[in-house]
């Protein structure tokens, strides 16, 4: 009898602390009763909300945003180009943690990013307008290969497929990128 009380008490604590989750209580003998399973609706911080939270914590210009599991990784450059911060935004709570801050950056290294007419936030919105879904990655790309600077945006559609876009940093024009070595169904983070 004490065993049933302890199991029931433990199940109650799990339900109170962790929210509505599946909990099982053991009954005497071989029979077991289980509580109905329910999935707690988690607050999922969107890319747009993660960008806003990061910029509130460390004002500047976003260089990149990438989601890995339950964390958004955001790199921000100060508007004078001298500072750089690596931030993490919790995808459930929106809490921002500074992982690395450097205030001695070469200002020439980020001059293209700072001069871009289209921000990371605008590039994310443009990509979702072209292909509905959830933004998963936004990365600045100013390669020296003769191409214009652009944003690489990864959008995950409701069908689970990944769509890669290139957003022109001057015009905001969205074009689909050719499929790279990235598997469109891959849920692991990119090393980018």
> What pLDDT digit, counting tens, does each position of 123-156 carry?
999 999 999 999 999 999 986 666 789 999 999 9
Complete domains list, the chain, with CATH: 2-34 (no CATH), 47-176 (3.10.450.40)
Contacts of 5 (CB under 8 A, 6+ apart): none
Contacts of 71 (CB under 8 A, 6+ apart): 88, 89, 90, 91
Model pTM score? 0.69
pLDDT at 146: 66
- Nearest Cα neighbor of 167 from 114, 128, 133 is 128
- For the chain, the C-alpha Rg in angstroms (whole number) is 22
* pLDDT tens figures, 61-91: 999 999 999 999 999 999 999 999 999 999 9
């Amino acid at each position: 009898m004490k065993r049933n009380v302890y199991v029931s008490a433990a199940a109650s604590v799990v339900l109170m602390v962790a929210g509505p989750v599946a909990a099982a209580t053991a009954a005497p003998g071989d029979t077991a009763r289980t509580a109905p399973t329910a999935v707690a609706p988690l607050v999922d911080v969107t890319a747009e909300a993660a960008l806003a939270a990061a910029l509130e914590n460390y004002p500047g210009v976003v260089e990149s945003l990438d989601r890995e599991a339950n964390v958004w990784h955001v790199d921000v450059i100060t508007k004078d180009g001298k500072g750089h911060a690596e931030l993490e935004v919790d995808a459930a709570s929106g809490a921002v943690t500074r992982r690395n801050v450097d205030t001695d950056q070469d200002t020439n290294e980020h001059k293209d990013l700072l001069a871009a007419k289209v921000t990371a936030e605008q590039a994310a919105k443009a990509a979702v307008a072209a292909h509905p879904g959830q933004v998963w990655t936004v990365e600045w790309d100013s390669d020296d290969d003769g191409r214009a600077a652009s944003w690489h945006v990864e959008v995950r559609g409701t069908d689970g497929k990944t769509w890669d876009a290139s957003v022109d940093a001057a015009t905001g024009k969205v074009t689909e990128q050719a499929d790279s070595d990235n598997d469109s169904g891959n849920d692991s983070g990119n090393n980018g």
